[in-house]
Every structure is written in structure tokens, then in C-alpha cells.
Amino acid sequence: MFVFKTIVWGTLFMLGALIAGPWVAMQFSGILPPLDIGAMRYLGIVCMAAGLIFAVYCTLLLFLPISGKPIPYDSHHKFVATGPYRYVRNPFLLGIAVALIGEAIFISEIAMFAYAVVMILCMHFWVVFCEEPALVDRYGDKYLSYMKKVPRWFPLLKS
């Protein structure tokens, strides 16, 4: 049941963040001027693909035999600090953020960049105020130690 619920919620989040949200943002495209970044906009496709592949990879790591849990309010599973989780605490959301930025670059609309910024800020505040407290409650000192060693978003920056 855990795997199914996680797949459903993760899929709904990705669809909402990467399809429904941008569609709403694009309703403002006639109001705001488009950005002319030329062929550089195709870099956005690379960012989208890399971000999505990375997010899916990070999620799959949590379903391997030594699985953890990507959603803090689901049933108890082992704590995972391997793979990309050794370098950042939220690699799945980091992948989604990279995909959102890539989508904004490709679409090249101010409304899409604004949407990406708002979504990334929402993800950050959700992590800080919902996910991390739930994980501290679940894993205690183990997660507190992990938080001290591993940065939240960027591998080379300390929290």
C-alpha cells in the first residue's frame, strides 16, 4: 500500500507542478511580454529531462530493498541517506525544481518564470515547516545528525 500511495501522490504532484500549474501561468502570457532568449531556450529541454530523470531516480532509490520513505506522513520505513541523499536532503524536489526552471527557460514567458519561483518557494517552505519536523519526529537524533551533515538543497552549501 505504501508504494502505491507514494506513486499516486508523487505522480499527482509532478503532474500538478509541471503541467497544471504552468497551464494556469500561461493564461497570463498575453498580459506579460515574452522573453526573447533565442536558441538558448532549448537548454530548457535538457534541464527538464535531467530534472525529471533525477527526480524519478531519487524516488526509485526509496523503493529498493533498503527502502525509505519519500512522504513523511506515510507508514514507517528505514531512513535512507545513500545515493543523492548523501549530498542533499531533498533530491527529489531538487529534480522537480530543475525541471520547473527548464520548463520556464523553454517556454520563455515571464509568467512561467514567476510560477517556477513561487513553486520552488512553496516546496522550500513545505520542507522546512512540514517534512523536516515530521522526519525529526520519526527518526529523532539520527535525522538531526543528518540535517547537520547534509545540506537541504545544494551539495556544497551547509545548512
DSSP 33: P
pLDDT > 70: percent of the chain = 81
Secondary structure of the chain: what % helix, strand, coil (to 5)? 70, 0, 30
Report the distance separating Cα 41 and Cα 35, nearest Å.
10
Task: Give exposure, 50-76, as e/b (b: 16+ Cβ within 10 Å).
Answer: ebbebbeebbebbbeeebbbbbbeeee
- For CA atoms 22, 70, 94, 61, the dihedral sign is negative
Least confident of 19-23, 45-49, 81-85, 104-108: 19-23
pTM above 0.85, yes or no: no
Q: What distances in angstroms separate CA 13 from CA 10, 18, 19, 55, one per listed residue? A: 5, 8, 10, 12
What pLDDT, on the 0 to 100 scale, is given for residue 76?
Answer: 47
Is the pLDDT at 94 greater than 70, yes or no?
yes
Look at 137 and 73; give whichever has higher pLDDT: 137
Report the distance separating Cα 24 and Cα 112, nearest Å.
9
Given a contact cutoff of 8 angstroms between Cβ atoms, the answer to whether 150 and 156 are in contact is no
List pLDDT tens digits, range 38-79.
888 899 999 999 999 999 898 888 776 554 555 554 444 678
On the 0-12 / 13-18 / 19+ scale of CB atoms within 10 A, 124 is middle
